[in-house]
A and B are shown apart, each in its own frame.
Chain A
Amino acid sequence: MSLLEVSDLHTSFFTDEGEVKAVNGVSFTLEKNKVLGIVGESGSGKSVTAYSILQILAGTGKIVSGSIKYNGQELVGAKESVMNGIRGNKISIIFQDPMTSLNPTYTIGRQLMEAILLHTDRNRQQAFDRAVEMLKLVNVNEPEKRMKQYPYEFSGGMRQRVMIAMALACEPDILIADEPTTALDVTIQAGILELMKDIQKKEGMAIIMITHDLGVVAQLCDEVIVMYAGGICERGTADDIFYHPCHEYTKGLMRSIPTAKTGGQRLQPITGTPIDLLNMPKGCPFAPRCDAAMKVCIQRPAPKKQLSDSHAAACWMNEKNTIKKAVEE
C-alpha cells in the first residue's frame, strides 16, 4: 500500500465565466521516504492538486470526482473532524510566501506551539521544549530568545525556516512544499533546500515538492511529475525526465532553459501562449503549441503509456515511434 494514492482526481473552480477544470484527471502514488517533484507552469494545476489533498481549496473550488487515499484511508468526502486530524499532523504544508503565512501579531513561539498543543498530548512546557527543539533542527540561532520574537524580527530565509519547523513539529508523514524557495535569494534557497533534504533523510518522511524551477527539482527530487493544463503529461525518475524526456512538452521545457552552453546561441522556446482553462482543446491540451503535433493530437487526448517501470508519458509521439519501430522490423 502506498503512503498516498491519488486516482483520477478532478478539481474545478466554479466561476461566473464557467467551470474551470484546474485539475483534470490526475493520478499518482507517493511512497515513504521519497521526494516527489511536481513541475509545471502557472495554471497547470500543481498547487490545486496539493490543496485538494489537504482540502484547503478557495471558496469556489471543489473536488468533483476521484479519490485520495492516505494510508488506505479515503480523504475525499471525509468529515471535517477527520481532516483536522490529518492537516498539520499527518500531512503538513509550507507555502510560497513566508511573509504572509505567519501571523504578525503573535510571537513565533506561540505560533509554533499552537500546532503541537492541538495535535499532541504535550502540556505547555513540553510543547515549548518541542518548539525549541524544532528551531534548533532548522538551524535558527538562539532558539529560546527567538521564541519570544515576532515575525517582523525575522528575515525571509529565517521565516521560511520557522515555517518548516512548524510543519515538521508533529512529525508528519508527508510534507507538501508549495514553491518554498521561490521568494528567496539563491544563497538562502540553497540553504533551505539542503535543510529539507537533511531533515527528510533524518525523519524519513515523504515530500511533495511543487515548483516551476527545474533547478530545484534537479537538486532535491527522486521522482518528477510534469503537469500541463491540469493533467499529468509525464512521470519518471529525475534522470528519466532530465535525460530521456518522452513528452513533447517536457522536451520543450528542457530545451528552453538557458545553461552554461547556450551563451551566444538562441534559446529554443515553446511557441504560443499558455492555455486558457475555460477553452480547453478537444485533443491533447499541448497540441496547439506543439511543433510535432499530428492530426490525432488535435482530435483525441493521448493515452498514458508505460515506458519503463518508473517512466510513463501521455504523448502520441510515443505511439508513433512504437509503430515506426514495428514497421522497420
Chain B
Amino acid sequence: MREQALLQIRNLKQYFPISSGFFSTQYLKAVDDISFDIKEGETLGLVGESGCGKTTAGRTILQLYKPTAGEVIYRGTPVRTRQEIAAFRQKATMVFQDPYSSLDPRMTVADIIGEPLDVQNSTENKIARRERILELMDRVGLNSEHAARYAHEFSGGQRQRVGIARALATKPDFIVCDEPVSALDVSIQAQIVNMFEELQEQMKLTYLFIAHDLLVVRHISDRIAVMYLGRLVELAEANEICDRPLHPYTKALMSAVPVPDPKEARKNKRIALNGEIPSPLHAPKGCPFHTRCPYAAAACKESMPQLEEIETGRFVACHRVREIH
C-alpha cells in the first residue's frame, strides 16, 4: 500500500492579472497546473531559475495567495473554507529568504516569536507565553538573554534562527522554507542547514525546501522537483535526479552547477542552453522548454507534455524522454 501523503497538491494554478489595455486583461501564469505529493517526514526540494514560479508555488500551497484553480489536500481533507485555511495555517508555516526584511525592526525578538502565539491564542497566560518563547529560542540555539533585543542587533545567521523559531511557534508539521540559507555566508549556512535537519528529526517536520543552490538542495532533500516557467518538469529522488537527470532542462541545470572541486571543474562537461528563459507572459506554445531544448522536435512545439511516472517514483514531463536518455 502506498504511504499516505501529508499534502497532495492537485492541478494547482496561480495566475496574476496584468492590465494590458482598456478591455483586455492578460494573465501571468506564475504556477500552471502543478500536481505532486509531499510525504510525511520528507524534505522535498524545489528548484528552478528565477521567475520559474517556485516561490509562488510555495506561497500558494500555504494559501497565502488564493489559488486560481486546483486544491491542496492536507491529511486527506481539502483545504477550502476560511476555517479550514485558518486551521491549516497553524500546521503549515513558512521561513522566508531574507532575514533582514522579514523581521519587524520595531519588535523585540520575544514579540516576533510570540506573535503567532497571540494570533492563534494558543497560550493561556503571559507566563505560559513567555515560557513557550524561551523554549523556542532554546530550540534554535538562541540565548534567553536575547529575548528583549531587536532584530538589527543580530547577525544574518541569528536573524534566520529567529525566523525559524517564529515558524515553529504554532507547532506546525509542515514548513515551506523559501531560500532560507541563500543570504548567509557559507560558514553560517552549514549551521542553519544542520539545524533544519535536527529540528526535522526531533519534531517530525516535513519541509518544502525552495532554493536555487543545487548543492544545498541535494544535501538536505529526499526528493527534488524541478520547475520551469510555472510547470513541473521533473520530480525524483535527490541523488537520482542529480546524478542521472532525464529531462533536458534538468540535464542542463545540473551540468551548470559550479562544483567546488578544481579537478572536476577542469573536465568541463557543461550543456549550454540557447537563449534565455522566455517571459512567463509570452510562454511558448507546446512544451515551455522547446525554444531552448537541444532535442526539440515538431511534437514539442504543438502539445504540452504531461508529467508522467516513467520509472517508479520518477516523474518527467517530456515527449522525447524515452528516446534521449
* 27 A-B residue pairs with CB within 8 Å: A155-B276, A185-B212, A186-B212, A187-B273, A188-B49, A213-B258, A214-B260, A215-B215, A215-B257, A218-B258, A218-B261, A218-B265, A219-B258, A242-B261, A253-B187, A256-B190, A257-B215, A258-B190, A258-B220, A259-B215, A259-B261, A260-B239, A260-B242, A269-B188, A269-B194, A270-B190, A274-B185
Contacts of B253 in A (CB 8 A): 186-187
Return B190 CB to nearest CB of chain A, in Å.
3
B276:A267 contact, CB within 8 angstroms: no
Q: Residue of B at shortest CB range from A213?
A: B258
The reply to whether the CB of A73 lies closer than 8 angstroms to some CB of chain B is no
Which 10 A-B pairs give the minimum distances between C-beta atoms? A215-B258, A269-B190, A258-B219, A41-B185, A256-B190, A270-B187, A190-B256, A214-B260, A267-B190, A185-B49
Return A27 CB to nearest CB of chain B, in Å.
24
Contacts of B158 in A (CB 8 A): 273
Query: For the complex, would chain B's binding face be called helix, strand, loop or mixed by DSSP majority?
Result: helix
The reply to whether the CB of B157 lies closer than 8 angstroms to some CB of chain A is yes
The reply to whether the CB of B218 lies closer than 8 angstroms to some CB of chain A is yes
B262:A263 contact, CB within 8 angstroms: no
Q: Contacts A186-B253, A263-B239; is A212 near B49 (CB within 8 Å)? A: no
**Interface range on chain B (Cβ under 8 Å from partner):** 35 or more
Q: Which of B215-261 contact A (CB under 8 A)?
A: 215-216, 218-220, 238-239, 242-243, 252-253, 255-261
Q: Residue of B at shortest CB range from A261?
A: B219
Q: Contacts A256-B189, A268-B190, A273-B155; is A187 near B260 (CB within 8 Å)? A: no
Q: Contacts A258-B216, A269-B194; is A238 near B187 (CB within 8 Å)? A: no
The reply to whether the CB of B167 lies closer than 8 angstroms to some CB of chain A is no
Contacts of A263 in B (CB 8 A): 218-219, 238-239
B215:A194 contact, CB within 8 angstroms: no
Q: A residues near B, CB below 8 A?
A: 41-42, 155, 157-158, 185-191, 193-194, 212-219, 238-239, 242, 252-254, 256-260, 262-263, 266-271, 273-274
The reply to whether the CB of B123 lies closer than 8 angstroms to some CB of chain A is no
The reply to whether the CB of B272 lies closer than 8 angstroms to some CB of chain A is yes
Which of B215, B238, B258 has the largest number of chain A CB atoms within 10 A?
B258
Q: Contacts A41-B185, A253-B187; is A267 near B193 (CB within 8 Å)? A: yes
Q: Which of B56-79 contact A (CB under 8 A)?
A: none
Contacts of A266 in B (CB 8 A): 194, 197
A269:B256 contact, CB within 8 angstroms: no
Contacts of B265 in A (CB 8 A): 215, 218-219
B186:A257 contact, CB within 8 angstroms: yes
Contacts of A257 in B (CB 8 A): 186, 190, 215, 260
Contacts of B311 in A (CB 8 A): none
Of the candidates A41, A158, A256, A262, the one whose C-beta lies within 8 Å of that of B276 is A158
